[in-house]
Every structure is written in C-alpha cells, then in structure tokens.
Chain A
C-alpha cells in the first residue's frame, strides 16, 4: 500500500518531533521532510511533492497562511492541514481562503492529527471539533443580537445536500453524478445557497458548513 507522504512545517523543533512520532506510529504514513519556516516549507513542498503538509500558522519569514496560499496555488494536489492555536473565525476563514483543507487546533493535535491527515488525504475537509463549537457559538450569539433567523432553515433539503457536498470539496460534476442532476442544476442550487446564506466564495461556504456541523 502506498504511504501518505507528509511534510511537517513548524518553527518549533519540539513540536515537530512530537508530531513526527505520532505520525510515524501509523503504518500508512511517512514524514518525508521538515521545515522550520514558511519559505522553507514552500521550497520543500515543491521539491518533495508531499501528499499532505501539516503546517503551523505562526512561523517566521513567511507565515503558514501565506505559505499555504503559495503551495496550493502552485501544486493543487497538495492538501494542507493548518495547525493553529486559535479557534477564531478570522483564522479559519483565512486558512480556508489560502486553500487549506484541514484546520487543526494544537491542543487537540495529539488526538485529532491522524484523523485530520487521513481526511485531507482523501480530499475531505477536517476541522477540530472545538473549532466548530467556537464558530457556532459566535454565530448563534450574533444571530441572537441581530434578531435574525438562521438562514439555514430557508434551504430546501436538496440545497442542504448540495451545500454539504460542496463543502466537502466535491466538484459540480461529482455532485451532479451523485445526485443524478445536471451540472447546470447543481450550479443553480449553489448560487441559490450562496444568496440565501449571504456567502461570498467557497471558503465562506465551508466555514458556514463547519459552523453548522455539516462537515467536520
């Protein structure tokens, strides 16, 4: 069986070695490289072509978000798991906009890392459960204050299905096949969803899905 090739990027050696031990206990995973800053990570990603990059957000020279952006721009097949201490929406959204597939809190790295790597290697997204909770709490509080209804109730069952599949990273064509719909119809559903939820772009849609617990 082909092993998942992983690149670790963190400016702290201790953290990297801890992560490496965790990953190498898995028979189907191999750490192929380590980088201590963003620039090195981008360079190594280019030369090693790993399947998954597990990368800290706060790094010197080039931070993790910028590095993720550059990697996913150049090598769309690389899946990035962002490693962060922050469960705040600002971070999650930026990570998503930079093209990260997974968002892992350092607190729960030890218990969630393997699941996260596996998920993103299968082109699924992964978010630490604590992140979803914080996002949801913020969202609910905001709704309560503004007195607005959760627009999710406005979605039709079909739209909810499409929302989940889009958030999981499926293409319009995949979704059309899975749901026996035309690509055109899927596109219409998608734009309806965006309009109803007042979302701008896929990252916001994913964030919304994470918040609602539609994906994890």
Chain B
C-alpha cells in the first residue's frame, strides 16, 4: 500500500513537472509569436517611412537640380541676349544694355552655376565644369568687345556673334540638355531603386506574415493536441478512479460477506461441535446421576457440580453462537428474529424495545435478512450502550419492491455528520452493497433515527 502510494506520488510530481514544462513552452511560443508579429509590423512601418523619406529626398534633389539648371540656362540665355543686344544695338537706344550690364549678367550666370547644388555626381560635375569653362571663355572673349565703339561694334557684331557667341551658346545649351537628361535619368534610376525597395519590403512583409501565420497555426495545433491529451488524461484518470472505487466497494462488500461467513462457520462450529458435545455430556451426567444410589450424597453432589459447570459452559457457548449468527434467522425468519432480539435486549435490562412489522414477506433472501438483522442489532447496540436510550422502536414495512426499516430511540443522540464509527460504516456498507440506502438522523438530546430502505425483488405468491 505504502509503495503504491509512493509510486503514485512520484508519478504525480513527475506529472506536475511535465505540465509545468509544457506551460512554460507554450508561454514562450506564444510570446515568440507575438514578438514576431510586433517585429514584422514595426519593420514594415519603419521601411515604409524610410521609403517615403527616400522618395522625398529623390524628388527634392531632382527639383532642386532642375530648378538650379533652369536658373543657369535662364541666366546664360539672358547673358547672351544682353551680349547680342549690346553688340547689335549699336545706335545706343534707350534701355540699351551697356557693357557693364553684360558683364553683370555674365557674373549672374556664373553665380547661377556656382549656386548649383553641391551634391553632384562626377558626370554632372564634369558637365557643369564645362559650362563654367565655356562661360569663362565667353567672358574673356567679350572683354575686348566691351571696349568697342559703336562703329566697331557695327562692323564686328555679326562676325563676333557668329564666331564667338553662337557656338558657345549652343554648346552651353547642349551641355545643359545633357545635365537635364542626366537628372532625368537619375530620377528614373532612383525611382526604380525605390520601386525595388518597395518590392523588397513587400516580399519581407509577406514572408513575415506567412511566418507568423505558420507559427500561429503550428502553435494552435500543438495547443489543441495538448488540450486533447489533457482531456484524454483526465478521462483516463476518472475511469481509473471509478474503477478503483468500484474495486474498493466490492472489496469491502466481500469483506462483509467474508465476515458473515466466518461468523456463521464459527457459530456452527461452536453450536454443533462444542455445544452438542456438552449437551450430550449433560444427558450422560443425568443418567449417571440416576445410576448412583440416592444415599450416596457425595457422588451425587459431585455429579451435580460437574453438571452445573457444563450447564454454564453450554450457556456461554450458546450466547456466543447466538451473537455470531442468530439461528432465529434460519429457524424462524426475519421478523421473529427481530422480535427475539428486541426481547433479548429488554431481558438484559438495557432498554425496552418494541418491534412492529407490516406485511413483511417470509421469502426474503438470506442476504437481506442478515443485513436488516445486523442493522437493527447495531442500531440497538448504539442506542443502549452509547446513547443511554431507555426505549427503542423498531418498525419494518414492506411495499411492492422495497423493505423499509426504522429504528428510533430516545437516547441523547450524536452529531451524525461527524461521528462515523465502524459500526455505522459497517451498516452503510451492508445496505449499500444490496443497493439500499441508510439515513441516520440524530439530534442531541432528542434521540436517533436510523432509516434504511432495501430493494426487494418481487416474489410471486401462489
């Protein structure tokens, strides 16, 4: 028993350890899943923001460059216009630009080139340098022309414009176009890069979602499986419990049966062997006594003493046998046996017992008879010995399919819920084994009522 208990305890602690592990694992897994989902969300958020920033940067750079380039083109155009007008408008009309104006607009064009954003790639830088150089050449080529008088200008203008201005003007325009197309290309490239980034983010997001989904699915599966296993375990344990309880019940039932059988056999042994031998001895002693002459008082006295001893022995053996297994149950049936029991208790002077019965069949099974007899015996014993009752009432009623037994006493009672002696447990055990019920109601100072109901199979009367 102890070993079994220790084993159970070990198993139980192992079980607790295992379930703790599983719980920890599940917690970790769910935590991981949550972290994964949060990470995926944060990552995509961050990536989207970075993307938006990059796009903004690209757009800003493009528009800055385009604007700067426009300014360059515009100022260079103004410069050349000024120069041409200065050279061609030799009549000195009002609002006619003079040489200083030309130099100024040249300087403005230089400034515009210099103001071009600094974040240049090498190709752009090269192109800008070309513009700058060409502008510088233009300025230096214009320096002698600035001093020309009107006639000189009229004479030289066409040639100067054709040879010095136009080629440079065209060249600068070409280079500017190159810069513009370079910028356009850059923009396209950056946009493509961004698009590639978006695709990267998208595929990462898809991966993350898929991963989370998969992990969640896996976790749900594992969790579900674990729950199923727990449920199965619970059911198995419950079955085990039920089985062991049934076993226990049948064991205690068998115990009661074995006890009754043992009592019966001891009783029979006492009654049949010892009792009968003593009885025969008494008969023989009587005959012996008759053989002894009446005058022989000594021998007769001796025989009388032996006889009295034997009688005492017979009586105590009989009492013992009666207690172990009342032959009344077999000889007379249940009700007379109970009446005998009641009178026996009354005779001993313990308390007065009344027995009433109604319609009790004489065809009761031995099991039922013994059960009821022992129940009443135990109840009366409790009432007389422990509750100091003065009077007890036993009543039996039989209906179609059950036998009701009630034992009521006027003793001082006890707390029925708390006090559960072996006797009461034995009573309950016996009755329960036959499919009946026992109810014990006890009120302190008001007495005790034991009420039992036993199923009785219907007996067909002829």
Contacts and interface: CB of A to CB of B under 8 A. Distances in A.
Interface of A: 11-12, 14-15, 17-19, 21-22, 25, 57-58, 63-65, 85-86, 88-91, 93-94, 106-107, 109-111, 137-138, 141, 145
B283 A57 contact: no
A110 B330 contact: no
A58 B330 contact: yes
B331 A58 contact: yes
23 contacts: A12-B276, A12-B279, A12-B280, A14-B277, A14-B280, A21-B287, A22-B286, A63-B331, A65-B332, A86-B340, A88-B343, A90-B328, A90-B337, A91-B332, A107-B282, A107-B311, A110-B282, A110-B285, A111-B286, A138-B343, A138-B346, A141-B347, A141-B352
B145 to A, nearest CB: 161
A179 B279 CA distance: 44
A63 B331 CA distance: 6
B280 A86 contact: no
Nearest to B276: A12
A22 B332 contact: no
B330 A63 contact: yes
Interface string B271-312: 110011101101111110000000000000000000000010
Contact of B287 (A22, A86, A88): A22
Nearest to B315: A107
Contacts of A93: 336
A36 B208 CA distance: 98
A65 to B, nearest CB: 6
Contact of A94 (B286, B336, B352): B336
Interface of B: 271-272, 275-277, 279-280, 282-287, 311, 314, 318, 327-328, 330-332, 336-337, 339-340, 343-344, 346-347, 352
Contacts of B311: 107
A111 B290 CA distance: 10
B284 A88 contact: no
Given A12-B272, A14-B277, A90 B352 contact: no
Contact of B336 (A12, A90, A141): A90
Nearest to A21: B287
A89 B339 contact: yes
A64 B327 CA distance: 12
Given A63-B330, A65-B331, A138-B346, A106 B279 contact: yes
Contacts of B286: 22, 110-111
Contacts of A63: 330-331
Given A58-B327, A109-B283, 14 more contacts: A12-B276, A17-B280, A18-B280, A21-B283, A22-B286, A58-B271, A65-B331, A65-B332, A88-B328, A89-B339, A90-B343, A94-B331, A107-B314, A137-B347
Contacts of A85: 275, 318
Nearest to B328: A90
B283 A22 contact: yes
A111 B271 CA distance: 21
Given A65-B331, A138-B343, A138-B347, A110 B287 contact: yes
A179 B456 CA distance: 52
The 9 closest A-B pairs by CB, nearest first: A110-B286, A18-B283, A90-B336, A14-B280, A12-B276, A90-B340, A18-B280, A110-B283, A88-B340
Given A107-B314, A138-B343, A94 B284 contact: no
Interface centre among A17, A106, A110, by most chain B C-beta atoms within 10 angstroms, is A110
A21 to B, nearest CB: 6
B293 to A, nearest CB: 17
Given A85-B318, A137-B347, A91 B331 contact: yes
A21 B286 CA distance: 11
A206 B444 CA distance: 45
* Residue of B275, B318, B327 with highest tally of chain A CB at under 10 A: B327
Nearest to B280: A14
Contacts of B271: 58
Nearest to B289: A110
A130 to B, nearest CB: 12
A141 B354 CA distance: 12
A152 to B, nearest CB: 20
Nearest to A144: B352
A15 B279 contact: yes
B283 A19 contact: yes
A86 to B, nearest CB: 7
Nearest to B275: A85
Contacts of B272: 11-12
A135 to B, nearest CB: 10
A145 B352 CA distance: 8
Contacts of A141: 346-347, 352
Nearest to B338: A90
Contacts of A57: 331
B114 to A, nearest CB: 139
A21 B285 CA distance: 12
Contact of B276 (A15, A22, A91, A107): A15
B323 to A, nearest CB: 14
Nearest to B314: A107
